[in-house]
Chain A
Amino acid sequence: MKREYTTQDRGGAQASNLQRRRLLQLMGAGGLGLMGGLPFAGRATAQEAAIAFWASATLDIGDGWSRLTEATGITPTFTDNGNDMGPVVARLAAGNANDLFDVGGFQGGAERELFRQGQIVPWDLAKIPNFAKLWPWAKDMAHLKADDGAQLGIPSVVNADSIIYRKDKLGVVDSYGVIFDPKLKGRVSMEDAWINTAVFAAMYLKESENQPIKDPGNLSVDELGLVMEFLIKHKTDGQFRTFWNGWEQGVQLVADEEVDAMTGWEPIVYEGQKRGLDVAYAAPVEGYEGWGNNTVMLRGASERGLADAAHALVNWMLDGFYGCALATSRGYIVPSETTAGYATANPAEFDPADISAKADHVASKFAGKVYWQNVRPDNFQLYEEWWQKLRNA
């Protein structure tokens, strides 16, 4: 029988997190009295620890976390971080996030910056044996490593995005050029976020217009100007119906036939198909925009003596069950051979064919050209400056 995993109540997670902290304080105080002043934190082990996991809701497997406790003794408390790295970075740098949370699950791109600030600490791969089972390219992602090669983030979930389009109206689409085609003026949309829209436009300009762009995910000052001027021109020409924001808005644009094509997330295609529309997801010649949520160890975990528990948590996430639960509930994939392997070994829990198909689909996207989403490009404040110009154009 297949299990359903639900998202944990946010308030409940926060409440339980606070209780856990209080409990640790009490246990620490009690430990001092009973055991001659040995600090509790220094003796924490994976078998007895509680870990506060502060991550995008995408990474939550709800009731499935009980399997982590069964396997390792770790009690996790999941808190949704809102999936917006702006406030997350601010709360780490200037707030109390490191006091409250032990492990983060963040959108990719800020790892090196957070490490430079001392907000996260590198993983010890010797304590994560399942890291070796990650897909090869997932092990080698440069933006997850420090200059000295230390591993800063562990890929927890990956996917790659492109174009959602009306196949009945447009035929087969294989280029982002459709988004900028004047024939579709007022019938296309992009996301209201520079972290995606600038990358898609840069990919198109680089690959199909031969513009001098090195890395669409990390544009130089000149490249950024080129890309944003291009978007501004199309916006002022009335090319975009709107810029969409969030799952419901994305689905509504497609389902209510407001647009014929838009850059966005693949699950929106499935939602459109459910409503009887002939909607498809493009495999563009310019490639996909890859994105990942990566697990990082917050400095606070190390200071509180919870590093071993944090390693045990992330190793379990790469062990197979977590990947299957995530693939079943959300369709996203942990880039590891253990995902399909666990389903094959446990057909009573998960449908092996379904899990393998999802894993193969994501793997096939990454077999081609992929440019990575980056929440913290070098000129990130300039991105915002240009985004304002675009808004006000």
Chain B
Amino acid sequence: MMSRASFLVTLPLLAILSIGLVPLVTILAWSFWTWDPDTYWIKPDPSLAGYTAILAAGRWTVLLSTLHKAMLAAVLCLVAAYPLAYAIHFLAGRRMKLLLMAAITIPFFTSYLIRAFSWRLVLGRTGPVNTLLVDSDLVAEPLDWLLFSDFAVMVGLVASYMPFAAFPLLLAMRRVEPSFLAAAQDLGAGFWHIVRTILVPLTRSGLFAGFLFVFVMVVGSSTEVQMLGGAGASIVSVMVNDVMRVANFPLAFAISTVVLVVLFSLVLLGNWAFRLSRLFEDAAS
């Protein structure tokens, strides 16, 4: 007979399977179907047309550039979030801690559209950054590459998704006993030595969780690329929208399947290497 605990676990598990897994399996199956121009829908004629189309028109380069953008944004978010999380957990007093935590949530105060749009105003030819550069005679003309460029896209992505790196790092740092750091200091270890040999190894799971959150969010994003990128700049979500607009459903499903396989592989690999579950273990255990 099923125990009470097993029963309680079974219900959410079934919910997750039905909400999460069923649509994903459906997408996988439909990616092998064929588009029917008569019905504007797909029919169960098995075909690899969706997957071969990924290799056409440079679509595979969008997949690669999306992964590259996601990886770079995730690393930059971690670089920015790590000292912030360190300061909040180890240096800040109670009041400052609250203030910094609140500051991290600022990007969530506005919609992602407004956030991206505001960067257009800041980085544009007549925006404050260019105005300051020109007025201070650092440049003769406004810098065009500040906006509608890969640089602008990265600024928008990091500004939007940095909190998703900061919070797992904070969780991970809670598991680091301050006495470890004090002991290392007493034994003569310098700051960077402590960071390299104690802090980073003990917060690996938080680093990977932060990386993963940002990576996944960027792969699914489109606004920052569309608003801040150059002419025709693309990312997977934009490409899927383009494809859906002309009802090429098998291709859209095939692209989604490839992305899902990459993301699942990353999660499994990361869990194996970094033991993500440790993030939620009791600090004392």
Contacts and interface: CB of A to CB of B under 8 A. Distances in A.
A86 B247 contact: yes
Interface string A234-252: 0100001111010011001
B57 A242 contact: no
Interface string A17-38: 0000000000000000000000
B151 interface: no
A283 interface: no
Contacts, number: 108
A380 B41 contact: no
A383 interface: yes
A391 to B, nearest CB: 4
A249 B144 CA distance: 17
A93 B39 contact: yes
Given A94-B40, A240-B231, A258 B56 contact: no
A257 B239 CA distance: 29
A264 to B, nearest CB: 15
B232 A90 contact: no
B58 A389 contact: yes
Contact of A87 (B147, B227, B233, B244): B244
B39 A388 contact: no
B117 interface: yes
Contacts of A229: none
Given A385-B56, A389-B58, A392-B57, A258 B125 contact: yes
Contacts of A386: 57
A258 B147 contact: yes
A249 B41 contact: no
Contact of B245 (A86, A92, A117, A392): A86
A243 B232 contact: yes
A384 B144 CA distance: 29
B226 A390 contact: no
B57 A94 contact: no
B58 A388 contact: yes
A256 to B, nearest CB: 5
B246 A380 contact: yes
B230 interface: yes
B93 interface: no
Interface in B102-146: 117, 120-121, 124-127, 144
Contacts of A89: 40, 247
Contacts of A389: 57-58
A387 interface: yes
A90 B61 CA distance: 27
B234 interface: yes
A117 B41 CA distance: 11
Interface residues of A, number: 38
A345 B276 CA distance: 73
Nearest to A113: B40
Interface string A155-198: 00000000000000000000000000000001001001000000
A84 interface: yes
B243 to A, nearest CB: 6
Given A392-B57, A392-B58, A235 B148 contact: no
Contact of A84 (B39, B125, B229, B245): B245
A380 B61 CA distance: 22
Contact of B230 (A242, A256, A380, A387): A242
B148 A241 contact: yes
Interface string B249-269: 100000000000000000000
A386 B58 CA distance: 10
B232 A391 contact: yes
B61 A392 contact: yes
Contacts of A210: none
A262 to B, nearest CB: 11
Interface string B33-67: 00000111100000000000000111101100000
B62 A242 contact: no
B117 A391 contact: no
Nearest to A94: B41
Contact of A384 (B58, B147, B246): B246
Contacts of A387: 242
A364 interface: no
A385 B245 CA distance: 12
A242 B148 contact: yes
Contact of B234 (A92, A249, A392): A392
Nearest to A92: B40
B118 to A, nearest CB: 11
B41 A93 contact: yes
Given A94-B41, A241-B231, A390-B232, A381 B57 contact: no
Nearest to B226: A245
Contacts of B248: 381, 384
A385 B249 CA distance: 14
A257 B59 CA distance: 33
Interface string B70-101: 00000000000000000000000000000000
10 contacts: A117-B38, A245-B226, A249-B120, A252-B124, A257-B125, A384-B248, A386-B57, A388-B58, A388-B59, A391-B242
Given A89-B40, A243-B231, A252-B121, 7 more contacts: A89-B247, A242-B230, A257-B125, A258-B147, A391-B232, A391-B234, A392-B59
Closest A-B pairs by Cβ, 10 of them: A86-B245, A392-B58, A93-B40, A240-B231, A388-B57, A391-B232, A94-B41, A384-B246, A242-B148, A391-B234
